[in-house]
Structure formats: structure tokens, C-alpha cells
Structure 1
Amino acid sequence: MRPTILIVDDEVTNIEIMNAVLEDDYEICFATSGEEALEVARMSMPDLILLDVLMPEIDGYEVCRQLKGDPALVDIPVIFTTALGDQEAEAKGLQMGAIDYVTKPLVPIVVRARVRNHLDMKRMRDELATLAVTDALTGLGNRRRMENQLTREIATLSLRGDALSVIILDVDFFKRFNDIYGHTEGDRCLSMVAAALNRAMLRAGDLAVRYGGEEFACMLPGTSHAEAMETARSILHRIAALGIPHSASDAASYVTVSMGVATAICTPGARPQSWISAADRQLYAAKAAGRNTVNGAEYEPAALMSF
């Protein structure tokens, strides 16, 4: 998949020039105003932004400030494009969070080289960031990955007023499992549960993580409560089908899980922890109901904010 570059300039001719320079190697999207740039950035999540400094209403500096203040967009590298060509303007842009400057008239070979270099650096940063949010045992994302991704998805889904569902699940009586079968078998059990969980993530944006210990979580963006409950029941059956013996469980003779599901429409300013807390509450209800089951609820945004 080719990297995506957002070109922002109020002069269409400049966009056409930069597009001609870059279109052979990258997917290009564009905006002709600061306000449009912020909207397109949130919708397309580009890998790099070429941002004109001098624009009417919202100039490039303000766009950059808002990009760097948005948790979902802060890591997107910004290269300013300008005809100003003075050191004070360049310093201001770098202080705002831009990574580089190119001056107009643009020199194609310079633009291509700088874009390529900064995308290579971003790729390396992304790879290191991936290692930092990956659980070493299961290969799933970890708690930090979940929290980071929730923040981004809530920001994106809020623009559409779309739903977000979160599933929290525990392996039932896992301490007893470790006590009887040993920690090596316990690790093997968690790895098998993780693989089954990952196979249940059917949409491109779905995410399964190991949240901690024997606890896992799933994020299902753009998923209704009915669909999320269906996914949870699928997970329940997939893990039961593994047939991992568990002679000390009060729920079954094999390894089972209990699950809580929380769904709500995303609104600006909504906190990721609200979904986690709501799903946790549903998980406790599932455990109280005897485990090896799913409990869930759909929340109004205002009610969710109280968690």
C-alpha cells in the first residue's frame, strides 16, 4: 500500500505541480484551505502533509498548531511549503512542530528527496512504536496500543456520529489453571486464546489486545451493539472450541471466558476510559451470572461520560 500525502495550498496551480511531482509514488489527497485541511486530515489520516504557510482565514501555522494539538493527528509529519524564504519564518514553523521547509518555486528533485526521507524516518518510528505497543507473549497489541487506538478512533468516529463498541474479557478461573497445569501451559493457553480472539476480528479497523494478565480487550469501530454482541458470542464459541482442559473451572471442563460489551455513539471530547469502564461493568455482571457468558449494554453518550 502506497503512502498517502495531503497537499494543502490555496493555489490550485501549486497543488497540480506538487501532484505531478509525487503522484507516481504516492496516493495524493488535497485541500485548498486550512479548515478543509483539518477535515481531510482527520478523514484520510495521511502519512505526511505538505502545508502552505500563507493561506486566507486559517494560515499554515494555525493549521499546524491544531494538528499537533490533536491526539489523532499529532504524529503526522508536516513539511511547510512557502515563498517566504526567511529564517524567522522557518524557525517559527519548526517551533510549531513542522519537520522541514521547502521554498517555492519548488524544485522537483528536492521535494521528492525530502518527502522520501521523511517518510522513511516515519516508517522507522512507526516500527519502533509498534514494538512498544505489542505484547511479547501473544503478538497482540498491548494496553497502550488499545488506549492510543481508542483515542484516534473516537476522534474519527465523532465526525460521523458513528458508534464504537468495546469488549473486555477474562479467562475464567485462570489462576487455578496456572496452579494446576503450570505457567508454561498457562502461557500456551493465553496464546491460543489470543489467536482465536484475533481470528474473530473481521473488519479492517477491529483490534484485539492483551489488556493485562488473563484479560483481553477488543475495539470495534463503526459497530452497532447487536453486531458487537454477535462478535462476542463468536469469540465465546471459538475459545470453547479450542477444548483446552481446565479441571478446576466451575464454569466448564475446558477453558472458557466471560465478556462485557459496551456500545455508544462517539461525540467530541468523549474519553476512551469511559468505554473501558462500561465494558468492565458488563464483564463483572457476566461473572456474577456464572461466567462463560456475555453481558452487554448500549449507552447514551451522556450516560457513558459518567463512567
Structure 2
Amino acid sequence: MFNDVDDLSDCKVLLVEDSVINQKIIQVCLADLCDVAVVESGEEAIEYCLQSAPDLILMDWILTGITGLEACKLLQSKPSTANIPVIFVTSNVGESQQEECWDAGAVDFIGKPIVARTLVNRVKTHLKYKKQADLLREYSYVDGLTGVFNRRYFSQEMDRHYRQGQRANTTLSMIILDVDNFKKYNDHYGHLKGDDVLKSVAKVLKHCTRRPLDGAFRYGGEEFAVLLPNTPKEAAFEIAQNIINGLHQLGIEHAESPFDVVTASAGVSSTHTASDPAELIKQADTALYEAKKNGRNRVIEFSPEHEKSI
């Protein structure tokens, strides 16, 4: 896989350097390899990374304000930035200085004065490793059949979005969706056709969840989930209805269904009524049960009254 990662033009390198001359030299050296952003202090570097994490940081040792070493340690201490590789660009290349680089969490260092070929080769190598690691991480979170995220990633994202919503006082909504009469479909048409249905559901989910933070997941079997950060329950209901309608409109034949085509049912919940992630999931599942009980091929929004009817 490493040899296949050749195009690095979409990679972002953050250069943390307060010398204009060194900025120009490094930017020219890397111009044909990747995109380079520049900040002049460790404080700016941390703020930049928290807003939009680069693929690699080239960090000067001596900076105005906090040092490069201190900035690197702070980045390593934050979960959202700890995986960003840092290369120190420094004239301090003695043994003790090298030890300090490693202790701070750096992955490499480049000596000054800068040798263009060394700079390009080091950056290229670490960007390839970073891109490979990102691909492996992505594969481990993606369902192999449908191409949407898997249950493992759902659990991670649920906790993360819930915490962020609590901090920002915004609403996290979720949808749990289940293909109607799916066992009957498999029994009638076979499991290969059933797999095709699940792929079709995933395509509809992706089409209906286009915002960067929205996430579609295969929750298990024929069940899917959608996480919608910063989304009130009314908007989540509308998205769920679009998904249900979109699947129905595909017109996939289902002789064992009262609708004659493949349909799905969905339950919607939001943090408006849920006090923790487990309760949010339970409420969406309860609403899904109500949708099934009331005839399928529909969306039900969770209400406390539903719990009394179970």
C-alpha cells in the first residue's frame, strides 16, 4: 500500500517558521510536492491545528513566544492533534537536542542550513506514512459491503459528537433505520440480492447526508444509523423522511412486502429528550419499533409516550 501512495498534492504541510527567508526557501522546495501553509509562532500553530489539522508540521525550534518544543508537547497532549507528525527544522542537531526532539514527540528533524533534496525526501516519506495510516484507519472504520461507516466507528463518533454538543449547547439528533421484511426478501430472492439491497440503502443514506459532519453507519444486519450533529429533531425527521422516500422510489421489487417494493422504517431521537448517548440510541430504537408497529415504510419521532406503550 505504501508504494501506491504517490500523489501527495492534496496533503497539507504546516510550516511554523518566523524567518521570512526560511519560509520562502521551504515553500519553493515543496511547491511541486504538497500544499504549504505558514504561521510564525507556536501559539498560531496550535490554533491552526485545532481548526484544521494538517498532515504534517515543519516546526522551527526557536520561535517568538513559546518554543517549538513546547508547542510540539502541547499538540501531543491534545487528542485531536496528537496524531499530527512533527518534524523539527533546526540548527540544534547535537545529541542532547535530538533527544529533546524525540521526547517532545517529534518524528524526525532536519538540520539547518536546509538541503533541498533532504527536505523534500523527508517530507515525502512522512507524508506517505501519514497518508497510509489514514487509509488504514479509514478501512478499519468502513463496512466492507456497503461502504458506509461501521458500528465500531458509530460508537466512537456518537461519544465525540455528544460531548461536543454538550459543550456547545447544540442538538445532536440520530436516525435508526431498518429495512422492512428483509428476512422475507432474503428467503425469496437470495442473500446476494439481499446484499444488493443493503448497498442501495447505503447509497440513499449517503445522498441524503451530505453535510461534512453528518455520518451514515451500518449498525448491524439490515439496520443503519445516521448521526446528525447540530441538527434539531424537526430537521432530522425531514432527513429521515427523505431517506425513506428515496428508498421507496428506487422501486426495488419485493414480492413478499405489502408495498411490492423494498421499503424501510425509521426512528428519530435527539438530545432534546435524551440525557446521555445510551438513552439517545434507546429512544431512536423505541421510535423505530413504533414505526414498525404502525405499518412500516414510515418515520416516527420519539415521544415519551412511546415508552409507556412498550
Structure 1 residue corresponding to 2:178, chosen from 144, 167, 170: 170
1:4-32 deviation per Cα after TM superposition (whole angstroms, max 9, x unaligned): 11112344543343233323432222322
Q: Quote the Cα distance in structure 2 between the aligned partners of 1:211 and 1:242.
A: 22
Structure 2 residue corresponding to 1:293, chosen from 294, 298, 304: 298
1:231-287 deviation per Cα after TM superposition (whole angstroms, max 9, x unaligned): 2211010112233455666x855433233345569xxxxxxx955751441231232
- Asked if 1:255 corresponds to 2:257, the answer is no
Q: Quote the Cα distance in structure 2 between the aligned partners of 1:152 and 1:256.
A: 31
Q: 1:113-192, aligned counterparts within 5 Å?
A: 113-147=121-155, 164-192=172-200
Matched residue SS, 1:79: strand
Structure 2 residue corresponding to 1:278, chosen from 270, 276, 280: 280
Q: 1:86-125, aligned counterparts within 5 Å?
A: 86-125=94-133
Q: Quote the Cα distance in structure 1 between the aligned partners of 2:12 and 2:228.
A: 24
Q: Quote the Cα distance in structure 2 between the aligned partners of 1:66 and 1:106.
A: 26
Q: Quote the Cα distance in structure 1 between the aligned partners of 2:74 and 2:109.
A: 18
What is the TM-score normalised by the length of structure 2? 0.76
1:214 deviates by 1.8
Question: Are the counterparts in 2 of residues 77 and 98 from structure 1 also a CA contact under 8 Å?
Answer: yes
Distance 1:10 1:125, change over 3 A: same
Among the aligned pairs, what percent are the same residue? 37
Matched residue SS, 1:73: coil
Q: Which of 178-187 and 110-119 deviates more? A: 178-187
Distance 1:94 1:212, change over 3 A: farther
Please list every run of 5 or more consecutive structure 1 residues that lacks an aligned counterpart in the other structure: 266-272, 298-307
Q: Which of 147-156 and 207-216 deviates more? A: 147-156
Question: Are the counterparts in 1 of residues 86 and 106 from structure 2 also a CA contact under 8 Å?
Answer: yes
Letter matched to residue 263 of structure 2: T
Q: 1:5-24, aligned counterparts within 5 Å?
A: 5-24=13-32
Larger radius of gyration: 2
Q: Which of 41-50 and 177-186 deviates more? A: 177-186
- Asked if 1:45 corresponds to 2:53, the answer is yes
Match of 1:304 in 2: none
What is the TM-score normalised by the length of structure 1? 0.77
Match of 2:207 in 1: 199
Question: Are the counterparts in 2 of residues 260 and 280 from structure 1 also a CA contact under 8 Å?
Answer: no
Please list every run of 5 or more consecutive structure 2 residues that lacks an aligned counterpart in the other structure: 1-8, 303-310
Question: Are the counterparts in 2 of residues 43 and 156 from structure 1 also a CA contact under 8 Å?
Answer: no
Q: Quote the Cα distance in structure 2 between the aligned partners of 1:143 and 1:31.
A: 38
Q: Quote the Cα distance in structure 1 between the aligned partners of 2:167 and 2:148.
A: 28
Q: Quote the Cα distance in structure 1 between the aligned partners of 2:145 and 2:53.
A: 30
Letter matched to residue 179 of structure 2: V
1:182-224 deviation per Cα after TM superposition (whole angstroms, max 9, x unaligned): 4333323212211222222333444322122222122445555
Letter matched to residue 138 of structure 1: T
Question: Are the counterparts in 2 of residues 7 and 51 from structure 1 also a CA contact under 8 Å?
Answer: yes
Q: Quote the Cα distance in structure 1 between the aligned partners of 2:121 and 2:167.
A: 34
Structure 1 residue corresponding to 2:73, chosen from 61, 65, 88: 65
Letter matched to residue 260 of structure 1: G
